[in-house]
Amino acid sequence: MMSWASVEGLPLPLGATWAADDRAYNFAIYARHAGQVTLLLYGNDLRAPVLTHRFDPGRNKSGHVWHCRIPATAVAGARYYAYSIDGPRSAPHQFDPDKILFDPYARAIFFPPEFDREAARRPGSNAGRAPVGLLVAGPTECNFDWGDDRHPRHEANTVVYELHVGAFTAHPSSGVKDERRGTYAGLIVRPRAGRAASDRRAVGRCRRVPARPGFPRHHLGAMERPVPRRRAAVRARRPGNDWRDDAATVRKQRPLPG
């Protein structure tokens, strides 16, 4: 007997996830004011979807979350996904079903070679010129071998030191080479001299600061790439995806896909 989740999908987790028991993909997106949501799955051609799934608000909606479950056999050849969403078109809402929207919870974002930000502002479709989510969930998801690693266990007296990856090593006094400043690689470089280096030594040696979350953890979009890293280090402008590392932060010269 098939479960409710197998037929209609689950509202959580948000994004595209792999449901191993059903060998299917679960899609869930928060769209409070939407009147209609359509899932678009693409192969290599981002102008013509290989599958279009129109959500039924009576079956595929829980609260403000739209969801569905698509069997893997139905999405053969699909590599990317996006949404077309319709709703109120008067202020403050400006829904346009012609526009291709990527999932803010996508695990990765793909910018096609023909990416054109202005196409999203002009009337008509921006298919093939809009960023889309990369469909990374699947049978091989989470197959990384963690070896002997284990989850850290934080006690009640743990001190959390929140730092900004881009700003923490941005200044020359950090002692980090220019190509590594403002990146994750720069955080592991041994401090040498200077005020910034002293701050890094204090954080690195403090045994009561075992938890050091790094920010930002969102994708800024292609238009942000020309902005000097030091000037944009402490201020994230127009984040596109809250759950994907910005490529420039991971590695300075790492290009965006496409």
pLDDT digits (tens, 9 = 90+) for 222-249: 444 444 444 444 444 455 555 454 444 4
Report which of 124, 109, 132, 111 is spatially closest to residue 50, judged by C-alpha positions: 132
Tell the residue number behind the tokens 């056999």, with chain if given.
73
- How far apart are alpha carbons 249 and 252 in whole angstroms? 6
Report which of 86, 90, 130, 83 is spatially closest to residue 110, judged by C-alpha positions: 130
Mean pLDDT of the chain: 77
For range 21-45, the mean pLDDT = 94
- The CATH number of whichever domain residue 55 belongs to comes to 2.60.40.10
Structurally, the chain folds into a number of domains equal to 2
What tens digit of pLDDT does each residue of 163-214 get?
777 777 787 777 788 888 878 787 777 655 444 555 554 555 444 455 555 5
Q: Does the structure show a pLDDT above 70 at 58? A: yes
In this structure, the answer to whether residues 108 and 21 fall within a common structural domain is yes
In this structure, the answer to whether residues 130 and 167 fall within a common structural domain is no
In this structure, the answer to whether residues 16 and 56 fall within a common structural domain is yes
Residue span of the structural domain in which 222 resides: 163-250
In this structure, the answer to whether residues 23 and 72 fall within a common structural domain is yes
User: What confidence score (pLDDT) does residue 15 get?
Assistant: 93
User: What confidence score (pLDDT) does residue 175 get?
Assistant: 78
Confidence of residue 116 (pLDDT cuts 50, 70, 90): very high
Domain assignment present for residue 256? The answer is: no
What tens digit of pLDDT does each residue of 197-208 get?
555 545 554 444
For 26, how many CA atoms within 13 A lie in the half-sphere containing its CB?
20
DSSP category for residue 164? E
Q: Does the structure show a pLDDT above 90 at 220? A: no
User: What confidence score (pLDDT) does residue 247 get?
Assistant: 42
Residue 256 contacts residue 247 (beta carbons within 8 Å): yes
- How far apart are alpha carbons 242 and 179 in whole angstroms? 25
Domain assignment present for residue 145? The answer is: no
User: What confidence score (pLDDT) does residue 195 get?
Assistant: 47
Domain assignment present for residue 216? The answer is: yes
What's the pTM?
Answer: 0.67
Alpha-carbon 5 to chain mean position: 24
User: What confidence score (pLDDT) does residue 233 get?
Assistant: 42
Q: Does the structure show a pLDDT above 60 at 6? A: yes
User: What confidence score (pLDDT) does residue 237 get?
Assistant: 47
